Structure 1
């Protein structure tokens, strides 16, 4: 009986310990219509590094605090940022709504379904279209564009435009980029 009670107390403790890091930011904080409250929580409680002029819009979902966002970058509504393996996002990056960045998965042929993780790096002036998916161990080059709905399984060269499943190069982007991707919408 003591073991059952001890296991129950330990289980409750572990759940409560994770409350401010998983439940609160994803189920409550992410839906507050105030950048200042959300960003304050993300920076102070989760330890996420968010550069000046950058914004994380409502409904963003986080798995871990290993997330670094540069200056004047926008992470739009309902993006899913699995940063267990670390996500580094540069300056003036535009991440469109509902993008998914996954740094962790499982070894398919592992008898014990072994977990593994690898980082994602997104360089300056990159643009991810709506519902693009970036898989572990991928680097998106400077100025690259990932078209809406694309699934990126391999590195994307600077200034390349990629699309499809899996994403393949379909064009080149201008190399004379000089914009700010900073975007704040009231109550978002």
Structure 2
């Protein structure tokens, strides 16, 4: 009985909810590949003119939120696993491109006012924040809220590893195989295979 229950929770239920997800979002500018599995039906909001593509053999945990606004795109490659509470937001003309075999930890946020690229086999730990937008603040006669945003893309090349609670600021490229230690704030580009920690 215990084995049957575990099989249901780990295999059959996520597969069944994957089927339900396909039905819920069929015809709504969302494409989902084969063998999609999820622990709960994700919240997906896609404006007219936007596209969300989810590859094959993708696994979602609970409470995933995906939002595509403006004329943006969100592309999730094959064999990607996304943990619970993750939020992917693309706006304007941004493209969020998550390549194959990427792992994204719980409650991480991809804030895509500009494009975000995550290279194949990269590991993004929990509570990571990838930020492509910053409020303007230089005009002293206007409040911060009135000054709009500046945007710049974020690129993680393949096989990068971001530790827990890392924040990556707009315009940053993290090179192939680089490692960023937990709680770091990345304000400068990181070379391939470099290991950094703290606040560069």
Structure 2 equivalent of residue 68 of structure 1: 97
Structure 1 equivalent of residue 129 of structure 2: 100
Q: TM-score, normalised by structure 1?
A: 0.65
What is the rounded CA distance, in whole Å, between the counterparts of 2:121 and 2:42 in structure 1? 20
Query: Any idea what SS the aligned residue of 2:53 has?
Result: helix
Indicate if the aligned counterparts of 1:35 and 1:56 stay in contact, CA closer than 8 A: no
Structure 2: any 5+ residue segments left out of the alignment?
A: 1-24, 26-36, 46-51, 55-66
From 133, 149, 157, give the equivalent of 2:183: 149
Runs of 4+ residues over 2 Å off in structure 1:
35-47
Larger relative helix fraction: 1
What is the rounded CA distance, in whole Å, between the counterparts of 1:84 and 1:114 in structure 2? 12
> Mapping of 1:67-146 within 5 angstroms?
67-110=96-139, 111=142, 112-146=146-180
Indicate if the aligned counterparts of 1:132 and 1:149 stay in contact, CA closer than 8 A: yes
Q: CA deviation at 1:56?
A: 1.8
Matching of residue 51 in structure 1 with residue 85 in structure 2: no
| CA root-mean-square deviation | 2.6
Q: What is the total number of aligned residue pairs between the two structures? A: 135
Change in CA separation of 1:153 and 1:123 when aligned onto 2, cut-off 3 Å: same
Change in CA separation of 1:137 and 1:36 when aligned onto 2, cut-off 3 Å: same
**Mean CA deviation greater in 132-141 or 35-44:** 35-44
Greater RCO, 1 or 2 (C-alpha within 8 Å, sep 6+): 1
**Mean CA deviation greater in 156-165 or 37-46:** 37-46
Matching of residue 34 in structure 1 with residue 60 in structure 2: no
Per-residue Cα deviation, 1:49-91 (whole angstroms, up to 9, x for no partner): 1111112221012221621001100111100110111101110
Per-residue Cα deviation, 1:3-24 (whole angstroms, up to 9, x for no partner): xxxxxxxxxxxxxxxxx9xxxx
